[in-house]
Amino acid sequence: MEKSRYRKPEWLRKKIALSQLASMREHLQKGKMHTICEEALCPNMGECFSNNQATFLILGNICTRACTFCNVSKGMPMLPDPLEPENLADTVEALGLWHVVITSPTRDDLPDGGAAHYCRVVEAIKARDAQIRVELLIPDFHDKEKELEKIAFSGAEIVGHNLETVPRLYQIRKGAKYERSLRVLQDLHRLNPGVHTKSGIMLGLGERDEEVLQLMEELLNVECRLLSIGQYLTPSSAHTPVVEYVHPEKFDYFRRKGIEMGFRHIKSSPYTRSSYMAHEYL
């Protein structure tokens, strides 16, 4: 498929109002928090920030992998901040959040990939209010069972790990493997069937419909019942280019098909992102 050379279509011209960001940024700066919303240049940032919603980025804002679709900085990260769990819990409390989404860059430099730090963050939040729902969006931890077991029993209600795209296009995920990511989701469910597993993919990279449907079938085969589907938007000319701006009707098609196939909840639209409207999945 020829790479798209056209301007974004009308359904992808969302504006971010700077006035919507100020209050949230004040809370984030006070708690010394990073968000994937800002690091990934999410187009939903203004909408979410204005509703006191954000996806917290723990373990720093530097990734040890070099995925060509992602805007998070690459390099050698600093050591985890031991005060981060309590600072994040303070921020959650100050914002009055009842559904908290937490992610991190991949930390291949750490012996456990940061799994124990994830657990400390969940523990700190639950210590303030055990009723707060916590959703984790994790890297693959090289599918190490010891680390996945920590995550599976961390107390989080939802644990997500994104496949991102179909196997044929995995060159965009440097250091990742499609089969390994599937096993991560499978192992999380096997270790703790009580935790809800979730994944996310992007359209517009040149995938074919039958490949997307096959991916969805494979997610169901590993007991993953929550899925987000959104449009890939390249962060810059140095990143993987967009091949196609997928029409909203195609997103509706995949949502309908997925529900028919057996997914419990699918959010599928051009502006859907992994944690967009995350509280609606359960």
**Domains present along the chain, CATH in parentheses:** 14-280 (3.20.20.70)
pLDDT at 4: 45
pLDDT tens digit string along 215-247? Answer: 999 999 999 999 999 999 998 888 999 999 999
pLDDT tens digit string along 143-162? Answer: 999 999 999 999 999 999 99
pTM: 0.93
- The yes-or-no verdict on residue 5 having pLDDT over 50 is no
pLDDT at 16: 62
Q: Distance from CA of residue 137 to its chain's centroid?
A: 5
Helix (H) or strand (E) holding 101: strand 99-103
CA dihedral 89, 184, 235, 64 (to 10 degrees): 80
pLDDT tier at 18, thresholds 50, 70, 90: low
Q: Which amino acid is at 272?
A: T
Which residues in 27-46 are b (16+ Cβ under 10 Å) and which e? bbeebebbbbbbbbebbbbb
Distance CA 75, CA 63 (A): 6
DSSP class of residue 78? P
pLDDT tier at 52, thresholds 50, 70, 90: confident
Q: Distance from CA of residue 132 to its chain's centroid?
A: 19
Residue 194, judged by CB atoms within 10 A of its CB (0-12, 13-18, 19+), counts as exposed
DSSP class of residue 90? H
pLDDT at 23: 78
